[in-house]
Structure 1
């Protein structure tokens, strides 16, 4: 029976109540105080506290592909995909102690603006367009594709209507209230996500017969975070070397992820918010992967593992609760989409419109342009999403991770060297952003489409490929910088982030606690 045939009127009533509540929260936040400036629209007036920052970062990361694909991987391989959640704490820590003090100290609204102060206008222009294309493809279109499929399954609607419906809800918050409305609604949505996902995990655990029974009825390797180096899917070497390249880009340099930290009331709130995100990431395995492992025990004969999550929902939850899960999936979608739309709007408006074309633009013009870009970005994303839908045999999760792996190396190299090595020159940074991106994406296209990995066995794991590209580009940026340093008329950095303050005691002890817990997790699930 199709999913949309199982749903009852009560389920749709629950979804309706949820949407009305969500819009009411967004309206209250957006219009009780009219936005007075572009900074209010894009960075919430620099007013965000740590709970909003943590929930927004986590909510941006938790898309529908996370729920569906994590359960699917749990069904087929166990908790190994938990590395993509738990390994992240190192790079969230890097954001808190290395990057956030510099971003906030420089008082920038966007990361291209930050690098523009470091390397000049040419780098800012390249990064602005780079960020816009990345947001459109990686965040908006792939998320809308995953979400559109889910809504299509639930409501039996055409994909284009499903996508437009999701965009309409998300665009409301981005256009009306900017980051502050997104942050407030994200807190509501993420609490709901935790409650419903926890209910599914506990219900599944009860049906299986408890933790002991779950472990007894699954293969021992299902509980290993570190799989042998010869494992075809997730060898530990590929994860250990390749994920850091993706982690630096994703958690430290991606506008969509870092946007809420830039909107922090102060550095301490930003660092506490990043720490809170690290704690929330621990939940990913219990809330998203464990239901897939339980489904393996309860429903071992599934033809399509991608159906594991919805199979658990429709089989274990009563009428009404299924509607609540639909609401949660929409919450995860809206959370990712509105954060991406806000990042897209911020970068185009501040780094291209104001920087290049209208330096003297009024606040009203800036806000109007931000809203126009949001609408245009949403329309473009619909067409890209429909183009993705026309590709046959697309495995969303694997392609998504692969694309991230091939996008990441140039950005990771430029930001790491730009922030940590003063001798890096503008020519070196721009060369990596242009040539490095072309190289990385060409290899990615070859890996995914021209000589697909499924047919050609000469390819290393895509995470190892990402690592090799990173090492090559890191060596290249050093060589070009040394050659370029002897020339005249080098750009003199105007980047001034002041003195980096010491970590406050509260921040320091919370990070020590999180690092201790995460090391303990890896020792507990260490492959024995």
Structure 2
């Protein structure tokens, strides 16, 4: 089924008009904010309340890339991918009660700064480079990959050309002030995408008639969260052991996810906001995965499951509305790409160039360096994206999770031991961040490209590989710390914890969330 052939001139016109309107809003917002004392809206620190925190964390997590990927995995395996949404509540809770009080107690704005206070400047510098690598891979290249697939489907062009086109559009918006427009309208766009997903699910249910009709037309294991240990896609042991490595990294140590909690009005609002995020994550399955399952029933002959979401859009929505969905997806992708390029430029320019290379740099030199880094970063991202596109045997969702699974172990180990074990030394933390990252990325390259599992079946599941790497690095950090314990290290002290008693309201909400999640797991348990 060719998605391009299902689109009309009206759909493409809607895309163009929508992007032009965004551009116009961008110029208007830029003009209104020019010279304003409040032109940097991100300086309003310690003002976020729990609704803002919850929606920000959830919105950062469930962008268009994850929406397309979730429908893809729902099409191929059913609800089992819901573990990546529902299992997360444990690590969001860990952020609220373990990590956030320590971050706030240290009075830091960034997580590299936190580790700098914990271990010293060398660790902070290494984390700056680590952050650059993760931005390039997890936020920029994977988003470009998902966006390239979308453009491929819409315009029927090669992946490399799709990526270049998406980057060109992003650069045009950034230079013309469009990024402000997209940031200004991002909440509206996410709401629109959620409404569309609800409409798609409702229309598909209407087409199928009843729950019993749906039940009869899909494999029985499509409604199981826990699959047997011999399942080739997602055995329960792989999820149980492997996802926590990714969960700790993503929900507790990734700056993009933690930032809103750090900006909370107080720790109580931060804990309530994290709890609200846990409740919002429940919506991931009905909004993003179930449409993929329904697509499997309605269109069982798709050659490429990554086309599941757009197939539902093009086949079930009227002309014009299809174009609106495409426009919103493209605009939201552009926002993520621009934000990632901006973050990449900022981290390198301020944390490495200004701080280490040239502290006396003038404003013009800083601006020029930032622009050069943006161009170089975009070029490197294209190469990484094309490499990701060459991965065989995995759909979009599995590509996302496997790549992230090989990034996560070093960061999870360093933060867990750095926060919870007072004997962890600077040398141990630095060694894991440097050599542990090289080990994890090397294993990832071997697994995904050089000896792909599609051909070489000696590999365990990628989530188990992530867990094994975590265990090896955990043993290493303990051994290095113990061997290093005789050295005097004045910077090796646990940072203060912001003492706080969780309110009764927060306790009740967390207990209720645990009960609901347990109920969902029991209801969708494997046969």
Alpha-carbon distance in 2 for matches of 1:515, 1:35: 48
Alpha-carbon distance in 2 for matches of 1:183, 1:329: 14
Q: After the TM superposition, which residues 71-82 of structure 1 pair with which residues of structure 2 at under 5 Å, given as runs?
A: 71-82=71-82
Contact 2:182 2:332 in 1 (8 A): no
SS where residue 487 of structure 1 aligns? coil
Match of 2:333 in 1: 333
Relative to structure 1, the CA distance from residue 318 to residue 342 in structure 2 (aligned partners, 3 Å threshold; closer, same or farther) is: same
Q: After the TM superposition, which residues 470-509 of structure 1 pair with which residues of structure 2 at under 5 Å, given as runs?
A: 470-488=470-488, 490-493=489-492, 496-497=495-496, 499-509=498-508
Alpha-carbon distance in 1 for matches of 2:123, 2:35: 30
Q: Which moves more between the two structures, 467-476 or 422-431?
A: 467-476
1:172 Cα offset (Å): 7.8
Contact 1:60 1:335 in 2 (8 A): no
Match of 1:215 in 2: 215
Match of 2:205 in 1: 205
Alpha-carbon distance in 1 for matches of 2:122, 2:38: 24
1:275 Cα offset (Å): 2.7
Contact 1:117 1:495 in 2 (8 A): no
1:158 Cα offset (Å): 5.7
SS where residue 455 of structure 2 aligns? coil
Relative to structure 1, the CA distance from residue 6 to residue 389 in structure 2 (aligned partners, 3 Å threshold; closer, same or farther) is: same
Which 5+ residue runs of structure 1 have no aligned equivalent?
A: none
Alpha-carbon distance in 2 for matches of 1:180, 1:55: 19
Match of 2:322 in 1: 322
Match of 1:406 in 2: 406
Match of 1:524 in 2: 523
Contact 2:26 2:178 in 1 (8 A): no
Alpha-carbon distance in 2 for matches of 1:177, 1:491: 47
1:443 Cα offset (Å): 2.0
Q: After the TM superposition, which residues 441-456 of structure 1 pair with which residues of structure 2 at under 5 Å, given as runs?
A: 441-456=441-456
1:526 Cα offset (Å): 1.1
Relative to structure 1, the CA distance from residue 218 to residue 385 in structure 2 (aligned partners, 3 Å threshold; closer, same or farther) is: closer
Establish whether residue 247 from structure 1 lines up as the match of residue 244 from structure 2.
no
**Deviations 1:7-31 (Å, cap 9, x if unpaired)?**
2232233323433454466566665
Q: After the TM superposition, which residues 300-379 of structure 1 pair with which residues of structure 2 at under 5 Å, given as runs?
A: 300-357=300-357, 373-374=373-374, 376-379=376-379
Relative to structure 1, the CA distance from residue 486 to residue 252 in structure 2 (aligned partners, 3 Å threshold; closer, same or farther) is: same
Establish whether residue 2 from structure 1 lines up as the match of residue 2 from structure 2.
yes
Match of 2:192 in 1: 192
Contact 1:163 1:382 in 2 (8 A): yes
Alpha-carbon distance in 2 for matches of 1:280, 1:224: 21
Which 5+ residue runs of structure 2 have no aligned equivalent?
A: none
Relative to structure 1, the CA distance from residue 349 to residue 173 in structure 2 (aligned partners, 3 Å threshold; closer, same or farther) is: farther
Contact 2:49 2:264 in 1 (8 A): yes
**Deviations 1:319-338 (Å, cap 9, x if unpaired)?**
11211221232244235334
Q: Which moves more between the two structures, 414-423 or 97-106?
A: 97-106
Q: Which moves more between the two structures, 230-239 or 379-388?
A: 379-388
Contact 2:54 2:276 in 1 (8 A): yes
Match of 1:227 in 2: 227
1:362 Cα offset (Å): 8.8
Relative to structure 1, the CA distance from residue 519 to residue 343 in structure 2 (aligned partners, 3 Å threshold; closer, same or farther) is: farther
Establish whether residue 133 from structure 1 lines up as the match of residue 124 from structure 2.
no
Alpha-carbon distance in 2 for matches of 1:511, 1:234: 28
Q: Which moves more between the two structures, 376-385 or 83-92?
A: 376-385
Relative to structure 1, the CA distance from residue 507 to residue 359 in structure 2 (aligned partners, 3 Å threshold; closer, same or farther) is: farther
Contact 1:40 1:46 in 2 (8 A): no
Relative to structure 1, the CA distance from residue 189 to residue 107 in structure 2 (aligned partners, 3 Å threshold; closer, same or farther) is: farther
Alpha-carbon distance in 1 for matches of 2:4, 2:275: 39
Match of 1:86 in 2: 86
Contact 2:183 2:335 in 1 (8 A): no
Alpha-carbon distance in 2 for matches of 1:182, 1:67: 18
Match of 2:152 in 1: 152
Alpha-carbon distance in 2 for matches of 1:361, 1:39: 24
Relative to structure 1, the CA distance from residue 470 to residue 509 in structure 2 (aligned partners, 3 Å threshold; closer, same or farther) is: same
Match of 1:469 in 2: 469
Alpha-carbon distance in 1 for matches of 2:391, 2:107: 42
Q: After the TM superposition, which residues 46-61 of structure 1 pair with which residues of structure 2 at under 5 Å, given as runs?
A: 47-61=47-61
Match of 2:511 in 1: 512
SS where residue 278 of structure 1 aligns? helix
1:185 Cα offset (Å): 3.3
Relative to structure 1, the CA distance from residue 269 to residue 156 in structure 2 (aligned partners, 3 Å threshold; closer, same or farther) is: farther
Relative to structure 1, the CA distance from residue 504 to residue 355 in structure 2 (aligned partners, 3 Å threshold; closer, same or farther) is: farther
TM-score, structure 2 normalization? 0.88
Relative to structure 1, the CA distance from residue 313 to residue 83 in structure 2 (aligned partners, 3 Å threshold; closer, same or farther) is: same
**Deviations 1:224-244 (Å, cap 9, x if unpaired)?**
000011111100011001100
Q: Which moves more between the two structures, 79-88 or 98-107?
A: 98-107
Alpha-carbon distance in 2 for matches of 1:194, 1:382: 29
Match of 2:459 in 1: 459
**Deviations 1:74-117 (Å, cap 9, x if unpaired)?**
22221011111111111122122222232233332321121111
**Deviations 1:187-218 (Å, cap 9, x if unpaired)?**
22211111111111111111111323212322
| C-alpha RMSD of matched pairs (Å) | 3.3
Alpha-carbon distance in 1 for matches of 2:254, 2:140: 14
Q: Which moves more between the two structures, 379-388 or 273-282?
A: 379-388
Q: Which moves more between the two structures, 150-159 or 301-310?
A: 150-159
SS where residue 78 of structure 1 aligns? helix
Alpha-carbon distance in 2 for matches of 1:31, 1:504: 44
SS where residue 102 of structure 1 aligns? helix
SS where residue 329 of structure 1 aligns? helix
Relative to structure 1, the CA distance from residue 181 to residue 260 in structure 2 (aligned partners, 3 Å threshold; closer, same or farther) is: farther
Contact 2:73 2:395 in 1 (8 A): no
Match of 2:95 in 1: 95
